[in-house]
Amino acid sequence: MPAWTDHIRDVPDFPKPGILFKDITPVLAHAVAFADAITSMAEPWRDAGIDAVVGVEARGFILGAAVARELGVGFVPVRKPGKLPAHTLALDYGLEYGRDRLEIHADAMPAGARVIVVDDVLATGGTLKAAVQLVEHQGATVVGTGVLVELGFLGARSAWTHPAPLYASVVF
């Protein structure tokens, strides 16, 4: 496994008993690990003609914005309810430990914009799937998705039906 993965910290029973939380803040705090992690997320898309990177609140903002800079494109946030100031589109979804709702600015990207959607951790896949659906509803084209960490034992990949590729920099 690449050296940057040593900086992923396991935190048991957060935010609920029974959840093993993959904490990426030590990766972010380490200059070389952070740079290598971002490079690994950007690599598949260097020649893919991407117009923008969409990141999911909150850790998807940190990674997505850095990947966008790496690819030389813009960044679009998908946020929790009530945070975006202009006209929004919304989608409700279920996640590993509860239910939530995502929003995007209706005018965030031109119709047909070629985008990737990124997040930190793929657990059940519900968040990423909802973000992809929301982005497509907005009118952009999702050419791929990427996560820093995939929790392989949860089986999200085998349930992933979207035709665009799903990249994970590391799978546990």
User: Per CB under 6 A, does 159 bind ligand AMP?
Assistant: no
Between the two ends of the chain, the Cα-to-Cα distance in Å is 10
Q: Give the separation between CA 34 and CA 45, rounded to whole angstroms.
A: 18
Q: Give the separation between CA 11 and CA 153, rounded to whole angstroms.
A: 17
Question: Which of 126, 139, 152, 165 touches ligand AMP by CB under 6 A?
Answer: 126
User: Per CB under 6 A, does 141 bind ligand AMP?
Assistant: no
User: Per CB under 6 A, does 76 bind ligand AMP?
Assistant: no
User: Per CB under 6 A, does 39 bind ligand AMP?
Assistant: no
Question: Which of 59, 113, 115, 143 touches ligand AMP by CB under 6 A?
Answer: 59
Contact 94, 59 (CB under 8 A): no
Question: Which of 125, 131, 132, 150 touches ligand AMP by CB under 6 A?
Answer: 125
Q: For residues 110 and 153, which CB has a smaller minimum distance to ligand AMP in the complex?
A: 153
Q: Which helix (H) or strand (E) holds 130?
A: helix 126-138
The amino acid that residue 89 corresponds to is L
Question: Which of 32, 35, 95, 171 touches ligand AMP by CB under 6 A?
Answer: 95
Preceding omega of 58 cis (within 30 degrees of 0): yes
Name the minimum Å distance from CB 170 to ligand AMP: 13
